[in-house]
Amino acid sequence: MLIIDCHGHYTTAPAPHQDFREAQINAFKNGQPLPDRPHISDDEIRESIEQNQLKLLREREADMTIFSPRASAMAHHIGDEKVSQQWTEACNDLIKRVVDMYPQHFIGVCQLPQSPGVSISNSINELERCVNELGFVGCNLNPDPSGGHWTSAPLTDKSWYPFFEKMVELDVPAMIHVSGSCNHNFHATGAHYINADTTAFMQFLQGDLFRDFPELRFIIPHGGGAVPYHWGRYRGLADMLGQPPLNEHVMKNVYFDTCVYHQPGIDLLFNVIDIDNILFGSEMVGAVRGIDPQTGNYFDDTKRYVDALNLTDEQRYKVYEGNARRVYPRLDKTLQGLGL
Measured from the CB atom, the residue of 232 and 290 that comes closer to Zn ion is: 290
Specify the pairing of strand 139-141 against strand 106-108.
Answer: unpaired
Q: How far is the CB of 259 from Zn ion (least distance, A)?
A: 7
Q: Which residue is nearest to Zn ion (CB)?
A: 71
Q: How far is the CB of 114 from Zn ion (least distance, A)?
A: 16
Q: How many residues bind Zn ion (CB under 5 A)?
A: 2
Q: State whether the Cα torsion 132-156-140-86 is positive or negative.
A: positive
Is position 257 an interface residue for Zn ion (rule: CB under 5 A)?
no
Give the separation between CA 254 and CA 157, rounded to whole angstroms: 17
Q: Measure CA of the first residue to CA of the last residue in the chain; give whole Å.
A: 9
- CB atoms closer than 10 angstroms to residue 54: 18
Q: How far is the CB of 283 from Zn ion (least distance, A)?
A: 5
Q: Which of 84, 97, 159, 170 is nearest to 127 (CA)?
A: 170
Is position 71 an interface residue for Zn ion (rule: CB under 5 A)?
yes
Q: What's the CA angle centered on 324, arms 319 and 330, to 5 degrees?
A: 165
Is position 300 an interface residue for Zn ion (rule: CB under 5 A)?
no
Q: How far is the CB of 17 from Zn ion (least distance, A)?
A: 18
Give the separation between CA 82 and CA 22, rounded to whole angstroms: 15
Kindly indicate which of the ranges 10-18, 118-126, 233-241, 280-288 contains the residues binding Zn ion, using the contact rule CB under 5 A. 280-288
Give the separation between CA 163 and CA 190, rounded to whole angstroms: 28
Within residues 132-191, the interface with Zn ion by CB under 5 A covers none
In terms of phi and psi (left: phi > 0; alpha: psi -120 to 50; beta: otherwise), the region of 107 is beta
Q: Are 244 and 266 in contact (CB under 8 A)?
A: no
Annotated catalytic residue, options 133, 283, 314, 321: 283
| Interhelix angle 81-101/42-50, nearest 10 degrees | 80
Is position 283 an interface residue for Zn ion (rule: CB under 5 A)?
yes
Rg of the chain on CA atoms, in Å: 19
Kindly indicate which of the ranges 77-85, 212-220, 235-243, 282-290 contains the residues binding Zn ion, using the contact rule CB under 5 A. 282-290
Q: How far is the CB of 332 from Zn ion (least distance, A)?
A: 22
Kindly indicate which of the ranges 92-100, 281-289, 315-323, 332-340 contains the residues binding Zn ion, using the contact rule CB under 5 A. 281-289
Measured from the CB atom, the residue of 21 and 192 that comes closer to Zn ion is: 192
Is position 6 an interface residue for Zn ion (rule: CB under 5 A)?
no
Kindly indicate which of the ranges 65-73, 112-120, 145-153, 246-254 contains the residues binding Zn ion, using the contact rule CB under 5 A. 65-73
Within residues 205-224, the interface with Zn ion by CB under 5 A covers none
225 burial type by CB count under 10 A (0-12 exposed, 13-18 middle, 19+ buried): buried
CA dist 71 → 36, 92, 286 (Å) = 22, 12, 9
Q: How far is the CB of 53 from Zn ion (least distance, A)?
A: 13
283 catalytic per annotation: yes
Measured from the CB atom, the residue of 283 and 301 that comes closer to Zn ion is: 283
Going residue by residue from 99 to 118, which x/- string records binding to Zn ion, judged by CB under 5 A? --------------------
Give the separation between CA 282 and CA 304, rounded to whole angstroms: 11
Q: How far is the CB of 255 from Zn ion (least distance, A)?
A: 14
Kindly indicate which of the ranges 45-53, 96-104, 234-242, 278-286 contains the residues binding Zn ion, using the contact rule CB under 5 A. 278-286
Positions touching Zn ion (CB under 5 A) are 71, 283
So which residues are the catalytic ones? 283
